[in-house]
Structure 1
Amino acid sequence: MSSKSSTPRRPGRRAMVAAGLVLAVGLGVSTQVSAQASVQAPAKASAAAQRTVSGTTGQAETRVADFYGAYIDAKGDYEAPDATLAKALRKHYLTTDFAERLALWEEQNGVDGVLRAQNVPAKWTVSDNGAAGNGREVVVTLTYGSGGTTQKIKLFVLVERYNRIADIATTTGR
């Protein structure tokens, strides 16, 4: 039996290993330990812990999910709610006509018209509810509270064909 291998040798690899050993000895153990401590190994994530959020430009449910996510973040920052951002989001996502109607509704009801509450939800879901006139109706389910004391509010959001929110109601308009 021959002791020669048919695999070609890599002379550069031996030099790299030797250089690594010299470097390790030169740096000392304490530097190695701190360098190793600063490098974090990738966290092991189970399949159940992994979450994916995706969207598509032009889809009504993606547009509504983007709006509600950013709006809730702006309103729900307990240390410093960002009223300026919430107002800018309304201006960007809502039709001018609906924004005016919503402001009147809020005056009459004393709550945030986008959320239909005075506080922010703990979580929310968004799903498509099909065509509605020249637009789409999207269902937003807001969950308030936590643990065993939760309350869900279902909102029907009308998105016009140009992807702006034209109405938010608690009953379907289809």
Structure 2
Amino acid sequence: MSVRSRTTLLASTALAGGLVLAAVTPALAGSTASHTTRAAAVSSAQGDPRNVTQHVADFYGAYIDAVWSTDDKSAGDAAKALRAFYLSAAAQKKVGAFEKKEHADGVLFAQNVPVKWKVAYTGSGAGHATSRVTLFWGEGPHAEVSRIDVQSDLKTLKITDLKSVR
């Protein structure tokens, strides 16, 4: 592996790790005026870099933080780096084709950014695992919800396919 490849990989990994930490902080604090109450209710967070569903959750958390931060000039570069790190080349190509055709974000399948998200394991087979990503587009009992099935390679943990669930 060349020095440049290693440097790029290390920089992408460091960026992704930092964005994951950034994703955890707002999630723990909540998004309403009662930050203290919500932070006290959730006193810890954990993860496992070997867990495929956690890997998908880390990606979506960091990616949503990056695209949410429209006032941060580095956010666009961060979102691109996250895609490069977490998505296989084929998945990146599919996301790009969707965006060109639909004029919407191919990771979120939307033109805007959700306020909350959750990820759940839904099954595995043939060397892949599927996780269901649920995106919440508002607060309260009547908030709009969308779902995405995310397929990941069990060996590399790379996201290999994304499909909007109707």
TM-score, normalising length from structure 1?
Answer: 0.67
Instruction: Give the aligned partner of residue 111 of structure 2.
Output: 118
The residue aligned with 1:8 is none
Answering whether residue 63 of structure 2 is matched by residue 61 of structure 1, we say no
Mapped partners of 1:47, 1:89: distance in 2: 27
1:73 aligns to 2:94 (yes or no): no
- Residues 18-29 of structure 1 correspond to what in structure 2 (within 5 A)? none
Other-structure match for 1:156: 149
- Any gaps of 5 or more consecutive residues in structure 1? 1-43
Rounded Cα–Cα distance in structure 2 between residues aligned with 1:160 and 1:171: 20
Q: Which residue of 1 aligns with 2:30?
A: none
Determine the C-alpha separation between the residues in 2 that align with 1:120 and 1:46.
Answer: 22
1:92 has 2:78 as partner: no
Pairwise CA RMSD: 2.4
Deviations 1:6-63 (A, max 9, x none): xxxxxxxxxxxxxxxxxxxxxxxxxxxxxxxxxxxxxx97997234322212111110
Output the amino acid matched with 2:59: F
1:155–1:168 Cα contact (<8 Å) kept: yes
Counterpart pick for 1:105 among 89, 98, 101: 98
8 A Cα contact 1:132 1:158, kept in partner = no
Structure number with higher relative contact order (C-alpha < 8 Å, ≥ 6 residues apart) = 2
Deviation at 1:106?
Answer: 1.1
1:57-93, Cα deviation, whole Å (9 max, x unpaired): 2111110011001101110014226110000000000
The AA in structure 2 aligned to 1:100 is K
Q: 42, 48, 52: which is aligned to 2:44?
A: 52
Identity %: 34
Which residue type is aligned with residue 87 of structure 1?
K
The structure whose residues are more often helix, as a share, is: 2
The residue that corresponds to 2:10 in the other structure is: none
CA contact (8 A) 2:146 2:165 kept: no
TM-score normalised to the size of structure 2?
A: 0.70
Q: CA deviation at 1:151?
A: 0.8
Runs (4+) of structure 1 moved beyond 6 Å? Answer: 44-48
Please give the per-residue CA displacement for 1:136-166, whole angstroms capped at 9, x wherever unaligned. 0001000012346521001100001210000
Change in Cα spacing, 1:167 to 1:78, as seen in structure 2 (3 Å) is same
1:141 partner amino acid = T
Report the structure number with the largest CA radius of gyration: 1
